[in-house]
């Protein structure tokens, strides 16, 4: 696995690089700003990029904007966003267009090296990783009981929450894509996830599933 790290704090950046390298992950570049991040991903095409949400020069949203750009240009490159703050709306915004291969974690999670490495690996493999605190703080009002879903609808939602496409879900569950589409349409209706301009129904459904897992 090949990874690029974008973090302006040198000590944190070096610590992440050492931790990943110790777990057999190839850190192909370490940069300190959003522009260098985009250049590194464009040139090196890593499996994943680890991105600080706030970087120079304004320390407002450079990392977030770079993430959106990278997800549009390189949807096969996973992006794991690190943030000091709990911002569920930003997590939804960043994941909306391309929920596969996306992660949003608080920076404190880096201290749990094993869990952090697992998150990087999941994102690089096309999975979706959302920090538990983001779910707890921002999605409580959106939680909808999943008990009303059928077993097959729950199966389809579980696979969706793992970042899988309809085709991949169909292959995993031994169903046709048309049947999977029908199950997911039913899930969206039962969870009251109507289309809107601010978020993606697939992302919101995945977060609803994750929020109710023990």
Q: Write the pLDDT tens digit of every residue in 118-168.
A: 999 999 999 888 887 776 665 554 555 677 888 999 999 999 988 889 999
Domains present along the chain, CATH in parentheses: 2-131 (3.40.50.2300), 142-211 (1.10.10.10)
Answer whether 42's CB lies under 8 Å from 69's CB. Answer: no
pTM above 0.85, yes or no: no
- 117: nearest Cα among 37, 26, 208: 26
- 66: nearest Cα among 95, 44, 33: 33
Predicted local distance difference test score (pLDDT) of residue 130: 84
- 128: nearest Cα among 90, 170, 99, 158: 99
Predicted local distance difference test score (pLDDT) of residue 131: 84
Q: How far apart are CA 90 and CA 176, in angstroms?
A: 34
Predicted local distance difference test score (pLDDT) of residue 26: 97
Q: How many CA atoms lie within 13 A of 90 on its CB side?
A: 22
Residues of the chain with pLDDT under 50: 141, 197-198
Find the length of the chain. 214
Q: Write the pLDDT tens digit of every residue in 69-81.
A: 999 999 999 999 9
- Kindly report the average pLDDT of the chain as a whole number: 87
Q: How far apart are CA 68 and CA 174, in angstroms?
A: 33
């Amino acid at each position: 696995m090949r990874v690029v790290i974008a973090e302006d704090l040198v000590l944190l950046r070096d610590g992440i690089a050492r931790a990943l390298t110790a777990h057999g992950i190839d850190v192909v570049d370490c940069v300190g700003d959003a522009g260098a991040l985009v250049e590194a991903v464009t040139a090196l095409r890593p499996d994943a990029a680890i991105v600080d949400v706030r970087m120079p020069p304004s320390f407002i949203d450079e990392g977030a904007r770079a993430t959106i750009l990278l997800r549009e240009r390189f949807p096969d490159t996973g992006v794991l966003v690190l943030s000091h703050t709990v911002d569920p709306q930003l997590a939804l915004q960043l994941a909306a267009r391309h929920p596969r291969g996306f992660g949003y974690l608080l920076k404190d999670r880096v201290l749990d090296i094993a869990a952090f490495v697992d998150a990087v690996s999941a994102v690089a493999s096309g999975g979706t990783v959302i920090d538990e605190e983001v779910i707890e703080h921002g999605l409580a009002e959106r939680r909808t009981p999943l008990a009303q879903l059928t077993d097959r609808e729950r199966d389809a939602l579980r696979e969706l929450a793992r970042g899988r496409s309809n085709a991949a879900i169909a292959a995993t569950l031994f169903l046709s894509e048309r049947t999977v589409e029908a199950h997911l349409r039913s899930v969206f209706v039962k969870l009251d996830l109507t289309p809107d301009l601010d978020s993606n129904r697939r992302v919101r459904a995945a977060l609803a599933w994750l929020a109710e897992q023990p």
